Structure 1
Amino acid sequence: MKTASRAPVLCIVGPTGVGKSHVGIEVARAVGGEVVSADSMQVYRGMDIGTAKVTQSETQGVPHHGLDLVEPNESFTVANWVTHADVAIAGIIRRGRLPIVVGGTGLYIRAIVEDLDFARQAGSASVRAKWEAYLLEHGSAQLHRRLCEVDLTSANRLHPNDTRRVIRALEVAELRGQELSQTYEWRAKGGRYNAVQVGLVMDRAALYRRVDARLDAMVAAGLDAEVRQLLDTGCTRNTTAMQAIGYKEWAAYVTGETREEEAVAAIKQATRRLAKRQLSWFLRDERVHWFTVDQTGALSANDFQTICDLALQITEGIELARRE
């Protein structure tokens, strides 16, 4: 593989619950890397159980970046994440190690791979506020129907409960008179990093069973107390962080709108839908090297070695990047 002076980055992507975090840690240990989280909800402090954030012991000593960056009631955009990721990657390169970006937030990965500048995507606070008020008055289903009227492409991609992104799509449509999907360049061009993408997949039925089991484990680990703590410390139901899958459904249970078993079922269904959307997103990129994990999230020895070999092929670019 031809190397370049661009800093090398290994990206490990795939649907939620497939085992990306574990594989990222194992690869980092094998090749001398550090992990940069590409999860839009793990940036929030105090949201650990419901986001499946890795624990200190689970990291096995591998440094992690991109976790616990802001409070749940603070705004955090793709542009904010790109700024943080750039700083983290530069530091990792200076230490002579390989940056391994791990996560399922498609726009975060795309920003690294394609050098997208979301800071240039101007918004309007007044327009956003209007749609947020509309959400409060009419609910997420009606908000999503409004998006269907002006941007069916984005509406088909976004779940009605993903109100933050639905509002963003409505905002863009109103301000620019064009669909959100038309404001981004999806053609593979390459960015400022020498990025190699590794994708993890699992038999769908096995993945759904794994998702269900993980949610049961979250409940047993204290999801209820975590959500109550967030609500008690000032997070409202409309806070962006509280729109995360698992939190909004459990908050409805805490406030007496649903029963516990209904919240559990809703979270499992929403998580399965998220996994499907994430997989569809990453399958659009033909540059992703796909590997199948078993029902426990483990790779075969041969596939693990192949991923490590892909990582090692770009590590010689670390020294070139350090000299610039």
Structure 2
Amino acid sequence: MKLCAISCRLQQLPVVVRETDGISVETGDHRHRKDKVVVVMGATGTGKSRLAVDLAKKFHAEVINADKMQVYDGLDVVTNKMTVQEQCGVPHHLLGGVDPEAEFSAANFRALASASIDGIIRRGRLPIVAGGSNSYIKALVSDETSLFRLQYDCCFLWVDVSLPVLHKFVSDRVDRMVRAGLVEEVRGVFQPKADYTLGLRKSIGVPELDQFLRAESCGADAQTLAALLEVAIDQIKANTRKLTHNQLRKIHMLRDIHGWNLHRLDATGAVESSGQVSRDDWERRVVGPSMSIVGRFLLRNIIMDGVSSSSSSSSSSFSGIAATAAMVAAAAAGVVETAITIG
């Protein structure tokens, strides 16, 4: 009865139309009704993939990877791909599958991601695009033909961590990756004449180990190898920190210059000084507010169903499942709403 009462009240609410960078984020006219897509953005190490899985479990969703190195097969440790266990049974798309020797462009991503989104919606589920390759996300959302903007209503979540905390976190993560087999993984694909500007070999962690692996293949002594490995690991950490700066710069451009409406979620407090993530803080500071934001975003589908019973087949299948999840999230929105920080 409570959900029914919420639905009745929602059907009486006025519906507003707002345009952001040509992206319609709200409409009540069934003739212009758009399917829903959630986009999770952020610098490397902020927890984008983790949040995408957390939301997918709650909103009957599937995840589309938007990390330009994780689309390739291989080097799972180097590229920090989510393990099967970390995926928690949530279907993932474009997480591997591309030949590591091939070039994969933003246009390639746009084509494959668009096809994945269409398939997810046809299955009555919510697409969540998650990754740190902002050029890929921009190519998808702001394509030259504007087809994406005509078809989809987007909710942008930006997971942010203060740079001092993030820098320590990613440096500690590199150490964990080394212990998990990063060097052994790169050794397995090492080729003295390889081109580090192509394919998977562009990944941070591969070119930095070149001098170490060359010396190792030539039979260098243990002391020399230890020194070269230390330099390589320091370079990996430095280049990862540089990547976070570049990613944040692009996110700021999308918000400040292109006018994207980004919901900023400050995850700094969820990352402890030890470089680990507190589960309780993560739920309170990131997952809870994200549920509220996405819940309100999906509730607009319910409003539109109240305005008109006419809808596309994909929208009908989506609203039957995701709208219920949206109502559940809305019921909790009052509890977590104060924790939201909007950038």
TM-score (norm 1): 0.71
Which residue identity is paired with 1:277? N
What 5-or-longer segments of structure 1 have no aligned partner? 119-188
| 108-117 vs 312-321, greater mean Cα deviation | 312-321
The reply to whether residue 279 of structure 1 matches residue 271 of structure 2 is no
User: Paired residue for 1:290, among 264, 284, 290?
Assistant: 264
Q: 1:114–1:192: 8 Å Cα contact kept in structure 2?
A: no
Which residue identity is paired with 1:309? S
Matched residue SS, 2:68: coil
Equivalents in 2 of 1:231, 1:7: separation in Å?
Answer: 44
Match runs of 1:101-116 below 5 Å = 101-116=129-144
Note the C-alpha offset of 1:112.
Answer: 2.6
User: Paired residue for 2:314, among 307, 318, 322?
Assistant: 322
- Higher Cα Rg, which structure: 2
2:74 corresponds in structure 1 to 46
Q: 2:124–2:315: 8 Å Cα contact kept in structure 1?
A: no
Equivalents in 2 of 1:202, 1:232: separation in Å?
Answer: 37
Equivalents in 2 of 1:6, 1:15: separation in Å?
Answer: 28
Q: 1:6–1:321: 8 Å Cα contact kept in structure 2?
A: no
Which residue identity is paired with 2:204? I
TM-score (norm 2): 0.68
Match runs of 1:9-28 below 5 Å = 9-28=37-56
Matched residue SS, 2:159: strand
Q: 2:66–2:136: 8 Å Cα contact kept in structure 1?
A: yes
Equivalents in 2 of 1:47, 1:301: separation in Å?
Answer: 33
Q: 1:45–1:68: 8 Å Cα contact kept in structure 2?
A: yes
Equivalents in 2 of 1:8, 1:86: separation in Å?
Answer: 13
Note the C-alpha offset of 1:212.
Answer: 0.7
What 5-or-longer segments of structure 2 have no aligned partner? 1-15, 17-25, 217-226, 256-260, 303-310, 317-343
2:204 corresponds in structure 1 to 245
Q: 2:212–2:229: 8 Å Cα contact kept in structure 1?
A: yes
Matched residue SS, 2:156: strand
Q: 1:219 to 1:34 in 2, by over 3 A?
A: same
User: Paired residue for 2:110, among 78, 82, 85?
Assistant: 82
Q: 1:82 to 1:259 in 2, by over 3 A?
A: same
Equivalents in 2 of 1:42, 1:302: separation in Å?
Answer: 27
Give CA deviations for 1:91-123 in whole Å, capped at 9, x if unaligned: 1101111101100101111123223469xxxxx
Match runs of 1:152-231 below 5 Å = 190=149, 192-231=151-190
1:310 corresponds in structure 2 to 293
1:265 corresponds in structure 2 to 234
Root mean square deviation of aligned Cα: 2.7
Q: 1:44–1:69: 8 Å Cα contact kept in structure 2?
A: yes
User: Paired residue for 2:284, among 294, 301, 308?
Assistant: 301
Equivalents in 2 of 1:40, 1:228: separation in Å?
Answer: 21
| 311-320 vs 262-271, greater mean Cα deviation | 311-320
Note the C-alpha offset of 1:237.
Answer: 3.7
Equivalents in 1 of 2:150, 2:187: separation in Å?
Answer: 42
Q: 1:115 to 1:239 in 2, by over 3 A?
A: closer
Equivalents in 2 of 1:280, 1:230: separation in Å?
Answer: 32
> 1 or 2 for the larger relative contact order (CA 8 Å, sep ≥6)?
1
1:142 corresponds in structure 2 to none
